Amino acid sequence: MSAIDPVLQKVLEIVPFRLSADDGPESARERFRDLPRSPILPEVSAADRSIDGPAGPVALRIYRPPTGESTLPGVIFIHGGGWTVGDLDTYDGTARMHAAGGDAVVVSVHYRLAPEHPFPAAVDDVWAATTWVHDHAAEIGVDPERLAVAGDSAGGNLAAATAQSARDAGIPLRFQLLWYPSTTFDTSLPSFTENAHAPILDLAACKGFSRWYVGDLDVSTAPPTLIPARGDLSGLAPAYIAVAGHDPLRDDGLRYAELLTAADVPVEVHNAETLVHGYLGYAGVVPAATEATDRGLAALRSALH
């Protein structure tokens, strides 16, 4: 396995960080707020609004890139954080990057978080947001025939599940952009052992956050809305799956790509071999992370335009 990118290694030494579920969700959320953030793109406008969700209001933040076009493609962006941490503010820069890089209106979703709200609360909130974007596309300047879902880590899990639900509901999706997603819940895959003590996300954190999200559910019988790899993958939107070499979830994303390919779904895979989980947060700081991020955003833009 390739060594960690030397620039990234220096950054990790200067600002060490590791996600942890050891001290409870509030501590994890506070630590997550200390993570490096994507540079803010002030030319991308943003507006907050609230929609009706299955258990109360769901907060959205709608981003629009600088353009003269009145109607653009739309991207439902679902933040990561182990289904437990993260919000509209901590992912503001990342959402702006998707709006600018994809030349699209991005709707970032603040779903309910575990363990206070375990599965399927996040799934239900994201689905409510997805159907709202489709039904109110004209209101927010979005072309309902050019929609995509995007998400990182736990958000990639939710994006993959949403893509399956959208197909079943007849909502046309052009694309799914999955950044180092969790799709199998199979910790026997080699990368979970190889990267058991990786920077940012290690095996213990994977298991801890998953326990918070799953709650009392028996994972062996869990539905595809929790474990997308178990779903019917035929007829899904084309996918771009980005993984990182020094990430426990690397082989999880690669396995999902194999399953999509077997179901005749077009898939592009990029393995950033020298990077770690969460590398979107280092875009604009670490050249290798910037390159990997730009590559995925270029695929999003190509699929939507």
Q: Which residues contact 53 (CB under 8 A, 6 or more apart)?
A: 124, 125, 128, 129
Residue with token string 């035929």: 234
Residue with token string 């199998």: 184
Q: What is the DSSP string of 164-194?
A: HHHHHHT---SEEEEES---S--TTSHHHHH
Which among 79, 98, 117, 277 is annotated as catalytic?
A: 277
197 is catalytic: no
Which among 5, 38, 98, 153 is annotated as catalytic?
A: 153
Q: Indicate the pairing of strand 267-276 with strand 239-246.
A: parallel
Q: Indicate the pairing of strand 175-179 with strand 239-246.
A: parallel
Which among 5, 247, 251, 252 is annotated as catalytic?
A: 247
Q: 112 and 215 in contact (C-beta within 8 Å)?
A: no
**Rg, Å, the chain Cα set:** 18
On the 0-12 / 13-18 / 19+ scale of CB atoms within 10 A, 70 is: exposed
Cis peptide bond upstream of 73, omega within 30: no
152 is catalytic: no
In sign, the C-alpha dihedral spanning 5, 11, 181, 101 is: negative
**Cα angle vertex 154, ends 23, 243, to 5°?**
115
Catalytic residue positions, numbered: 153, 247, 277
